[in-house]
Structure 1
Amino acid sequence: MPKNKGKGGKNRKRGKNEADDEKRELVFKEDGQEYAQVLRMLGNGRCEAMCIDGTKRLCHIRGKMHKKVWIAAGDIILVGLRDYQDDKADVILKFMPDEARLLKAYGELPEGTKLNELIGGGLDDEEDGDVNDYIDFEDEDIDKI
């Protein structure tokens, strides 16, 4: 049998995710950057995002974040705009949920932005108002069943 010459298996390469506990400084957008909300993940390190300026862009996740920072639909991200392609952008940073709430409180994100929700379906049932997803049956209808 060959000797093990490495320093460990795939779990060592993965590393520990200890950076979540630390508070980091809130990063605001600069020139050439924009806030966006992820609409859907496309695979291959790409996602489709709706930028705050109203443009839907195809975003590329940078290599430093790839397989280290997990991005899902509904997340608030900071993208770097391209001078030569307006319909494409690069993901620079993913905001944690508490950071996204702070951005909204500071007025960086518009008031209509829904945080921590999927864009398509929406997780909040209260936004429908009086519309219910169930059917009311009368006593007579139940007896027939």
Structure 2
Amino acid sequence: MSKTPDETEKTEEFPLPDNQTTLLCIIQQLLGFDRARVYCSDGKIRLCRIPGKFKKRMWMKVGDVVLVAPWDFQPERGDIIYRYTSNELQKLEKKGLLKELKDLLG
């Protein structure tokens, strides 16, 4: 039995940063009250909100790589819109997207 192309290449799609509306960030500190301080790929530290749909379903910890959408009216703040898993981080590494974030951290 041979597998169809749909079964062999069944990859989960995950959101990628586009550098205009979303940025790759690393969680530096969890502040409580659904807030986190994150270090972003543009070199800024932002205070971000963890939306209600992630509060109980997806636990976040210090050092996680997340996708952040900065607010238009207050750019030093933003919303965490996605947390990357270890498999997704490997795919981001292959695409070279984590390189700039690692360069900024040291």
More relative contact order, 1 or 2 (CA 8 Å, 6+ apart)? 2
TM above 0.5:
yes
1:15 match: none
- 1:60 partnered with 2:67: no
Deviations 1:116-140 (A, max 9, x none): xxx8xxxxxxxxxxxxxxxxxxxxx
Please list every run of 5 or more consecutive structure 2 residues that lacks an aligned counterpart in the other structure: 1-10
User: Which structure's CA Rg is the greater one?
Assistant: 1
Q: Over the residues paired in the alignment, what is the CA RMSD in angstroms?
A: 2.1
Percent sequence identity over matched residues?
A: 30
Please say if residues 24 and 101 of structure 2, whose CA atoms lie closer than 8 Å, have aligned partners that are also in contact.
no
Of 36, 40, 51, which residue of structure 1 is paired with 2:40?
A: 51
CA distance in 2 between partners of 1:96 and 1:112 (Å): 16
Matched, 1:85 2:74: yes
User: What is the aligned partner in structure 2 of residue 28 from structure 1?
Assistant: 16
Whichever structure has more helix as a proportion of its residues is 2
Greater strand fraction, Structure 1 or Structure 2: 2
Runs of 4+ aligned structure 1 residues displaced above 6 Å come to none
Alignment deviations for residues 66-121 of structure 1 (CA, whole Å, 9 cap, x no partner)? 1110000000000111111111010000000121121122011225629xxxx8xx
Residue 37 (structure 1) aligns with: 26
Q: What pairs up with 1:127-138 in 2 under 5 angstroms?
A: none
| 8 Å CA contact 1:104, 1:111 repeated in 2 | no
TM-score, structure 2 normalization: 0.79
The one-letter amino acid paired with 1:51 is C
In 2 relative to 1, CA 105–84 (structure 1 residues): closer, same or farther, beyond 3 Å? same
